[in-house]
């Protein structure tokens, strides 16, 4: 007798048994790595991918930084910079996926570093990697949710008449209140059982995919004035108003739009203790989230850029959206066609929901990292943060992540320059954390590394070196000045923020942690 979906009734017990065997295998592998199963292992490969894909969220990253791409190079940087950065980022993703397959634990990067460096260097490598990773993740959440608060402010501005029509411009305190409310909702959602969170994650992935398809087709179709193919594929904007004339320099600065977007894919690793067949599905989540993001992101950029005709106006703070480039593009497309910009505001609502999902998934990843890091005693009050509730959710770590992300955003009340410096850790600090275990894999553990089911074979070392070199390159490029002459207001504070984090991490190791932190600690006997 056949069921409606083509699976025989006799096969159902077999399928259930196979899933049970997979769970046993996952639990046994986790036990080999030194941990007992505490989180609910119920995520499928699709669910794992969905969380990571919604964090990468091309709508979120490209919408909020599209103005950077237009400023530094315009269409040429936007259209060609994305595939270049995407191609090189894939090397980082592949190298991470190979290590993830060998060590599928929620700790992710810092656990990898510890194992790859051995007993002597492992604790120190684990400490540095872990703190760069977790602070970078908190910075990502801060950046995403604050960008949503800013977009909500722009939506309200346009809905009330725009900047030139007497629209309401929220103060920095109102924007901060929006940010706090968004984080509160994300903490509440992440306090729900993982099965519910899995549903939201898959909904988020679908929303991102459909949202990209909708906007990349709709916006250029509605716009009454469209750019020519020659403009989209060959126009290079040198009018950045920042005293930079070198085309190469300008192009490099514009790449930040792409690299900022392609972050957060370590989430698949942090969700492995909740994922079935983690040593296969964790790596799949990392690679597929980047691969699909590259394809859909390029389509989104093409569609939006065909609606660009006047770059200086889109970037001007005197336009109706207050200088928010994509918001002005959406608004003008509908206003010029239909006499009002309501359709554009609705499109911004589609983007806002995608950003909301991105922040939600980011908190999920943050909390799992905090749970694992505190399980190994690396955080203050560790015993508190790695507790799980009856639904097997690391509830305290969830609320800790939301609280710290709110505190990081408070710097915006004093200075947007200081806030941007802190947020810069979301790209450079996080990528340094990505590169450290890869570097250890191709150096100290080159001969001793035992790969998991997913591995790159003889190409593993080559891919790893390309990944490390790329991270080293962007760490330098994105630390360069973005305006001349250099003043306290125009200085790029990225190296200051990242170096500050490095100094604090090194100092804490020398003064305290080296005396007691021994790296990952088994909890099987607890």
Calculate the alpha carbon distances from 39 to 285, 381, 397 in Å.
Answer: 19, 20, 13
Buried b (16+ CB within 10 A) or exposed e, 51-60: bbbbbbbbbb
83-140: per-residue pLDDT in tens? 999 999 999 999 999 999 999 998 889 999 999 998 889 999 999 999 999 999 999 9
Tell me the C-alpha distance between 368 and 136, whole Å.
14
33-90: per-residue pLDDT in tens? 888 888 888 888 999 999 899 999 999 999 999 999 999 999 999 999 999 999 999 9
pLDDT confidence bin for 525, thresholds 50/70/90: low
Give the number of domains in the chain.
1
Domain assignment present for residue 463? The answer is no
What is the SS3 assignment for 161? coil
pLDDT at 12: 37
Calculate the alpha carbon distances from 421 to 60, 289, 490, 505 in Å.
Answer: 20, 27, 12, 17
pLDDT at 17: 34
Tell me the C-alpha distance between 280 and 286, whole Å.
11
Provide the token pair at 57: 């969220």
Provide the token pair at 294: 């590259």
Nearest CA-CA partner of 138 in 481, 350, 403: 403
Domain assignment present for residue 316? The answer is yes
Task: Check which CATH number belongs to the domain holding 86 and give it.
Answer: 1.20.1740.10
Burial bucket for residue 26 (CB in 10 Å: 0-12, 13-18, 19+): buried
Burial bucket for residue 111 (CB in 10 Å: 0-12, 13-18, 19+): buried
Domain assignment present for residue 26? The answer is no
Domain assignment present for residue 478? The answer is no
Domain assignment present for residue 227? The answer is yes
Domain assignment present for residue 350? The answer is yes
User: Which residue range forms the structural domain that includes residue 213?
Assistant: 43-107+134-426
Residues 6+ apart with CB under 8 A from 79: 232, 233, 298, 301, 302, 305
pLDDT at 9: 37
Domain assignment present for residue 102? The answer is yes
Question: E-assigned strands of 81-196?
Answer: none
pLDDT confidence bin for 3, thresholds 50/70/90: very low
Q: Give the chain's length.
A: 526
278-302: per-residue pLDDT in tens? 999 999 999 999 999 999 999 999 9
- Claim: this prediction has a pTM higher than 0.95: no
Determine contact, residues 101/284, Cβ cutoff 8 Å.
no
């Amino acid at each position: 007798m056949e069921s409606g979906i083509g699976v025989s009734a006799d096969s159902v017990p077999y399928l259930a048994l196979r899933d049970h065997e997979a769970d046993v295998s996952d639990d046994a592998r986790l036990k080999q790595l030194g941990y007992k199963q505490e989180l609910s292992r119920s995520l499928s490969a699709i669910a794992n991918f969905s969380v990571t894909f919604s964090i990468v969220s091309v709508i979120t990253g490209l919408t909020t930084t599209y103005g950077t791409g237009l400023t530094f190079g315009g269409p040429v940087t936007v259209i060609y910079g994305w595939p270049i950065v995407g191609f090189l980022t894939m090397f980082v993703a592949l190298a991470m996926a190979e290590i993830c397959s060998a060590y599928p634990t929620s700790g992710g990067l810092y656990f990898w570093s510890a194992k790859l460096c051995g007993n002597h260097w492992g604790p120190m490598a684990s400490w540095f990697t872990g703190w760069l990773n977790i602070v970078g993740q908190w910075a990502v959440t801060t950046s995403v949710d604050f960008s949503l608060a800013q977009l909500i402010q722009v939506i309200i501005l346009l809905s009330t008449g725009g900047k030139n029509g007497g629209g309401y411009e929220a103060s920095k305190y109102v924007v901060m209140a929006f940010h706090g409310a968004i984080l509160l909702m994300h903490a509440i959602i992440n306090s729900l059982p993982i099965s519910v969170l899995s549903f939201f994650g898959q909904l988020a992935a679908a929303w991102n995919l459909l949202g990209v398809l909708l906007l990349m087709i709709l916006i250029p179709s509605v716009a009454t004035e469209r750019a020519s193919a020659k403009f989209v594929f060959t126009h290079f904007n040198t009018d950045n108003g920042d005293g930079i004339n070198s085309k190469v320099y300008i192009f490099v600065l514009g790449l930040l739009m792409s690299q900022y977007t392609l972050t957060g894919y370590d989430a698949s690793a942090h969700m492995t203790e909740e994922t079935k067949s983690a040593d296969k599905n964790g790596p799949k989540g990392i690679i597929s989230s980047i691969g699909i993001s590259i394809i859909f992101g390029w389509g989104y950029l093409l569609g939006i850029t065909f609606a660009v005709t006047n770059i200086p106006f889109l970037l001007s703070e005197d336009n109706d959206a207050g200088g928010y480039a994509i918001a002005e593009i959406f608004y003008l497309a509908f206003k010029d066609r239909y006499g009002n910009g309501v359709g554009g505001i609705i499109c911004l609502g589609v983007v806002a929901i995608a950003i909301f999902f991105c922040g939600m998934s980011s908190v999920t990843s943050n909390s799992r990292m905090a749970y694992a890091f505190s399980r190994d005693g690396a955080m203050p009050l560790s015993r508190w943060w790695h507790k799980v509730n009856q639904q097997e959710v690391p509830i305290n770590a969830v609320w800790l992540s939301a609280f710290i992300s709110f505190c990081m955003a408070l710097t915006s009340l004093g200075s947007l320059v200081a806030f941007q410096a802190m947020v810069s850790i979301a790209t450079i600090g996080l990528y340094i954390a990505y590169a450290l275990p890869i570097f250890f894999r191709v150096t100290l553990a080159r001969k001793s590394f035992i790969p998991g089911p997913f591995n790159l074979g003889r190409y593993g070392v080559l891919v790893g070196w390309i990944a490390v070199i790329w991270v080293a390159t962007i760490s330098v490029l994105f630390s360069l000045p973005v305006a001349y002459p250099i003043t306290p207001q125009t200085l790029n504070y990225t190296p200051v923020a990242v170096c500050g984090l490095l100094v604090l991490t090194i100092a804490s190791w020398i003064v305290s942690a080296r005396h007691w932190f021994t790296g990952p600690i088994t909890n099987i006997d607890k």
